[in-house]
């Protein structure tokens, strides 16, 4: 008598996957631009319609250069919501991010920052929303997660690396520390097996912002929550 074997879960439906495998299925992603990192992420890149946490050792640990290749491929605007410092036009351009696509929003209160991110995701006018948060409650992150799932945008929430010990509803959590020639990446949470190992990504471009291209003199016009703010031009 022939033995009938049960079908493999992944053969039943593309959304099914084993916990010992990286999730594939219908995960929509944007390539990170770094093959060594992409192969460790479900779907092979940064997830669209999901919440991704970037837990940096300190602002400027290389986290923006880690995201730059993906952000540089986007067609629509990229929203920067309350970054820790004023974005450098020359640095962004050198990293391949078009400064004309950057929408800079300033909001002093955390509730207003979270509300802004949620509305941007719901509106669908930006291909990515980047939100910086020092302290973020789990219920606030869950609201962002729900808004992200109904969108076709990338969502990155930057938090201090100490927050890695706290539970989070984010589907993907990545810790970033500076390293010689790049960054050390620790994938704290992903859909799939626990990440074990030491992953160093040689981010490009290098830290020195030297370029053969002329320096841009265009300025960002930040928006305070509710009212336009005065232009803060960068040389």
**What's the pLDDT tens digit per position in 49-84?**
999 999 999 988 999 999 999 999 999 999 999 999
Q: At what angle do helices 110-123 and 138-149 cross, to 10 degrees?
A: 10
Judged by average pLDDT, the poorest of 67-76, 143-152, 225-234 is: 225-234
Task: Give me the domains of the chain, ranges plus CATH numbers.
Answer: 30-207 (3.40.50.300)
pLDDT of 222 above 80:
no
Q: Looking at the predicted structure, is the pLDDT value of residue 184 above 60?
A: yes
pTM of the model: 0.79
Average pLDDT, rounded, for the chain? 82
């Amino acid at each position: 008598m022939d033995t009938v074997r049960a079908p493999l879960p992944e053969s039943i439906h593309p959304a099914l996957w084993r916990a010992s495998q990286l999730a594939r299925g219908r995960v929509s992603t944007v390539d990170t631009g770094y093959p060594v990192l992409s192969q460790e992420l479900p779907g092979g890149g940064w997830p669209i319609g999901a919440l991704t946490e970037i837990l940096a050792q300190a602002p400027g640990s290389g986290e923006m250069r880690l995201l730059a290749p993906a952000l540089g491929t986007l067609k629509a605007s990229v929203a920067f919501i309350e970054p820790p410092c004023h974005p450098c036009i020359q640095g962004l351009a050198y990293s391949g991010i078009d400064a004309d696509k950057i929408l800079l929003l300033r909001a002093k209160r955390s509730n207003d920052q979270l509300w802004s991110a949620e509305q941007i995701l719901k509106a669908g006018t930006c291909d990515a929303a980047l939100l910086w948060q020092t302290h973020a409650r789990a219920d606030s992150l869950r609201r962002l997660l729900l808004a992200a799932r109904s969108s076709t945008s990338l969502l990155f929430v930057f938090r201090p690396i100490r927050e890695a010990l706290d539970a989070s509803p984010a589907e993907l959590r990545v810790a970033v520390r500076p390293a010689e020639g790049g960054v050390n990446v620790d994938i704290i949470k992903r859909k799939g097996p626990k990440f074990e190992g030491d992953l160093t990504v040689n981010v490009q471009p290098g830290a020195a912002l030297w370029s053969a291209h002329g320096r841009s003199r265009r300025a960002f016009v930040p928006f305070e929550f509710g009212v336009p703010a005065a232009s803060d031009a960068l040389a």
